[in-house]
Amino acid sequence: MPRRRYSPPPLSTVSFEDGFWGARLKVNRTRGLEFQLAQLERVGALEALDQKPRPLKIPKGQWGGTTQMFWDSDVAKWLEAASYVLATHPDPALEAQVDQVIEALAKAQQEDGYLNTYFTAHAPDQRFTNERDWHELYCAGHLIEAAVAHYQATGKPSLLGVVERYVALLARVYGPGPNQKHGYPGHEEIELALLKLYRATNKREYLELASYFVDERGKQPYFFDSEARARGEDPSRYHFTNYEYSQAHLPVRQQDKVVGHAVRAMYLYSAMADLAGETHDPELLAACERLWQDLVSKRLYVTGGLGPSADNEGFTSDYDLPNETAYAETCASVGLVLWAKQMLEVTGEGHYADELENALYNNVLAGVALSGDRYFYDNVLQSRGNHHRWTWHPCPCCPPNVLRLLASLGSYVYGLGQGELAVHLYAQGEARLKLAGQSLTLRQQTQYPWDGVIQLSLELEQPTFFTLRLRVPGWCESAKLALNGREVGFVVRQGYISLERQWHSGDEVRLELAMPIERLHAHPAVRADVGQVALRRGPLVYCLESTDHQAALHQIVLPDDARLEARLEPELLGGVLVIQGSALAEDLQSWGDRLYRSAAPEQQPIPLRAIPYSTWDNREPGEMRVWIRSVANSRG
């Protein structure tokens, strides 16, 4: 196996202009970043860095009184996002705010390197005693990610130094030695963070600790059992019954079903894939591939959401994908994007980019309002009108997760490999890259995702031989390619067109991806979607909102032969392309008073208008529906 086929270019070298992402990323780095910092301030998460025990600011009962246990991670995710913004849009005022938060964190660090403001303030004697339920290593992971991002953005070692001292402590506490805990986190996160730290510092001990956490996981006798006994608890009384909840039921190399808490699962698999790439480990990669196949063939919403159940915030059974009660946590889709990125970069297979793109454009983007300051935690695919974004949440993991993901979007667009440059995502903008020792500027002009035409132009210092790989998304059934104005033939392999040649400055490539409106059907085993279709165009899944319709959404039936057309609406929802056509709806007027009757209800034509799923709940509250009842033809 290859070590890792692609690496992303430095974040600072990729820029977005106008267009779809340009607008959204601007909201993200302005309103989003500022608003979330204000929320962390408001709820007391920043103040808590001083580690003085104090009553919760969030009223008790709103989230069981344990909110602050995760606060370090929320602060860290904000720092990470802010660092990405500093990398792409230097801003001294923001940098000063970042420095201030880092200073508080540095002050909070204990003599021995320990850094968890919740435990130091509230339970100093309970450090490292309950990895199963608490979130020490999870918080540590986010601090590490923040430190790496900050270091790479600013070159300042301030947070990196703090974090490396903390990791040194963790490496003393956890490991295979006789006096070490043979443990691992209940909520995975630190593994993927340590791998980032390893790449940032080139210190192999970080890779080794990550590797230890990954491979120790799920071994018997279970660490979580012995840890519970040490606390005087009976491990058999564990709330979630077994360790599938945290993917610790089996050694990870033996796993083949995506189970348990969805965010935990995604973070673990992401680390597994990354580690497999870093260590040339085909066995570990094979486990990832099995898990991936399980997810995408049986347990993934059409929107890229995952983990249908609120009970375990995670997976249930195959094909169990209820729409109205979908949990589909925003963080889980962010996690899927992380995992898909690793799988893509390690293997170069385009189908990973397909799922990355799907999760990103649909479930992830739905997680934040167009205004940038209201958020979904759970992303239902159907609502009766009572599901809305809130301004904050007692467990505010999702908002800063989307914040940091969007702020780092530049690292998702391109992949640099051995003599090759892959374009994974299409977005109006520019990248200034280094390839084969040469500087290269690649410019994308496109209305994507509203339109499938992408114009690429290259600027090179001197003619250079390399392979340009252009992704042809899995949803695209017909593509055209032109090189310097001349149409050329091509084949798609592994989801990419490969153009291997001597490139010259001024070369232009035009890719045209057909983007018809599709009606998607779900596997017949998916109970919730049977007899219904979802509309997709390009990477965007669409939905109906009641504000656009004269009938309750469950009464709307879309005939298979109804003509649908895409139409750009520049004034709607910040400018979206809607899908419109004529559907049928059961007629209430002609039904009468009876609750049941033999005669079928009459149906009347009704105008249908679908909007991108990611933009729902940005207008007046009402019903929403992704899966639309379908019939074979318009005669009902």
Out of 432, 554, 582, 606, point to the residue binding its own copies (CB under 8 A).
Answer: 554
523 touches its own copies (CB under 8 A): yes
Say if residues 450 and 20 touch (Cβ distance below 8 Å): yes
User: Interface mask (CB under 8 A) for its own copies, residues 294-333, using x and -?
Assistant: --xxx-x-x-------------------------------
257 touches its own copies (CB under 8 A): no
Is the N-terminal amide bond of 221 cis, ω within 30° of 0? yes
Of the pair 571, 596, the CB lying nearest its own copies is at: 596
Distances (CA, A) of 485 to 264, 488, 505, 508, 510: 48, 9, 15, 7, 8
Residue position matching structure tokens 């991936």: 292
631 touches its own copies (CB under 8 A): yes
Say if residues 297 and 309 touch (Cβ distance below 8 Å): no
Say if residues 197 and 167 touch (Cβ distance below 8 Å): yes
- Catalytic residue list contains 313: yes
- In the complex, least distance from residue 546 CB atom to its own copies, rounded to whole angstroms: 13
Q: Which stretch binds its own copies (CB under 8 A): 106-114, 190-198, 226-234, 623-631?
A: 623-631
What is the footprint of its own copies within residues 349-408 (CB under 8 A)? 384
Q: How far is CA 509 from the centre of its chain?
A: 30
629 touches its own copies (CB under 8 A): yes
**Dihedral of alpha carbons 239, 245, 251, 256, sign:** positive
Query: DSSP labels for 347-386?
Result: H--HHHHHHHHHHIIIIIHHTB-TTSS-B-SB--SEESS-
Nearest to 159 by CA among 78, 99, 118, 108: 99
Say if residues 101 and 79 touch (Cβ distance below 8 Å): yes
Q: Which residues is 34 bridged to in the sheet?
A: none
- In the complex, least distance from residue 603 CB atom to its own copies, rounded to whole angstroms: 9
Tell how strand 464-471 and strand 420-423 pair up: parallel
- In the complex, least distance from residue 300 CB atom to its own copies, rounded to whole angstroms: 6
- In the complex, least distance from residue 341 CB atom to its own copies, rounded to whole angstroms: 21
- In the complex, least distance from residue 452 CB atom to its own copies, rounded to whole angstroms: 16
- In the complex, least distance from residue 630 CB atom to its own copies, rounded to whole angstroms: 8
Say if residues 180 and 113 touch (Cβ distance below 8 Å): no
Distances (CA, A) of 484 to 23, 58, 240, 455, 457: 30, 60, 59, 10, 9
Out of 416, 557, 562, 576, point to the residue binding its own copies (CB under 8 A).
Answer: 557
514 touches its own copies (CB under 8 A): no
Q: How far is CA 166 from the centre of its chain?
A: 27
234 touches its own copies (CB under 8 A): no
Say if residues 369 and 618 touch (Cβ distance below 8 Å): yes
139 touches its own copies (CB under 8 A): no
Of the pair 296, 458, the CB lying nearest its own copies is at: 296
Say if residues 419 and 467 touch (Cβ distance below 8 Å): yes
Q: How far is CA 562 from the centre of its chain?
A: 34
Residue position matching structure tokens 């090179």: 460
Q: Which stretch binds its own copies (CB under 8 A): 59-67, 450-458, 494-502, 590-598?
A: 590-598
- In the complex, least distance from residue 533 CB atom to its own copies, rounded to whole angstroms: 8
632 touches its own copies (CB under 8 A): yes
Q: Which stretch binds its own copies (CB under 8 A): 13-21, 130-138, 245-253, 587-595?
A: 587-595
Out of 527, 550, 563, 567, point to the residue binding its own copies (CB under 8 A).
Answer: 527
Out of 131, 136, 189, 313, pick the active-site residue. 313
236 touches its own copies (CB under 8 A): no
579 touches its own copies (CB under 8 A): no
- In the complex, least distance from residue 554 CB atom to its own copies, rounded to whole angstroms: 5
Q: What is the largest CA-CA distance in the chain?
A: 79
Of the pair 202, 633, the CB lying nearest its own copies is at: 633
- In the complex, least distance from residue 325 CB atom to its own copies, rounded to whole angstroms: 10
Tell how strand 438-446 and strand 429-435 pair up: antiparallel
Q: What count of Cα atoms within 13 Å lies in the side-chain half-sphere of residue 299?
A: 28
Q: What is the identity of the amino acid at 195?
A: L
Q: Which stretch binds its own copies (CB under 8 A): 204-212, 439-447, 464-472, 624-632?
A: 624-632
DSSP state of 42: H
Cα dihedral 258→263→265→267 (10° resolution): 140
Out of 1, 436, 530, 568, point to the residue binding its own copies (CB under 8 A).
Answer: 530
Of the pair 190, 557, the CB lying nearest its own copies is at: 557
d(CA 439, CA 425): 21
Out of 107, 439, 591, 607, point to the residue binding its own copies (CB under 8 A).
Answer: 591
Out of 113, 575, 601, 621, point to the residue binding its own copies (CB under 8 A).
Answer: 601
**SS3 for 605?**
strand
d(CA 351, CA 222): 35
d(CA 492, CA 498): 8
- In the complex, least distance from residue 24 CB atom to its own copies, rounded to whole angstroms: 25
- In the complex, least distance from residue 383 CB atom to its own copies, rounded to whole angstroms: 12
User: Interface mask (CB under 8 A) for its own copies, residues 24-63, using x and -?
Assistant: ----------------------------------------
What is the footprint of its own copies within residues 471-500 (CB under 8 A)? none
Out of 172, 290, 519, 619, point to the residue binding its own copies (CB under 8 A).
Answer: 519
d(CA 274, CA 263): 17
Out of 209, 526, 543, 544, point to the residue binding its own copies (CB under 8 A).
Answer: 526
- In the complex, least distance from residue 610 CB atom to its own copies, rounded to whole angstroms: 16
User: Interface mask (CB under 8 A) for its own copies, residues 95-124, using x and -?
Assistant: ------------------------------
Q: Which stretch binds its own copies (CB under 8 A): 54-62, 160-168, 176-184, 516-524?
A: 516-524
Out of 419, 524, 605, 607, point to the residue binding its own copies (CB under 8 A).
Answer: 524
Nearest to 25 by CA among 333, 428, 355, 388: 428
Out of 92, 93, 596, 620, point to the residue binding its own copies (CB under 8 A).
Answer: 596
Distances (CA, A) of 280 to 3, 266, 273, 285, 496: 5, 21, 10, 9, 23
Q: Which residues is 583 bridged to in the sheet?
A: 606
d(CA 269, CA 266): 5
Out of 338, 343, 534, 544, point to the residue binding its own copies (CB under 8 A).
Answer: 534
Distances (CA, A) of 225 to 133, 242, 392: 12, 10, 35
Out of 397, 398, 476, 543, pick the active-site residue. 397
Out of 522, 540, 583, 628, point to the residue binding its own copies (CB under 8 A).
Answer: 522
Question: Which residues of this chain interact with its own copies, rule CB under 8 A?
Answer: 296-298, 300, 302, 384, 518-527, 530-531, 534, 552, 554-555, 557, 560, 586-588, 591, 593-601, 629-632, 635-636
- Annotated catalytic sites, by residue? 313, 397
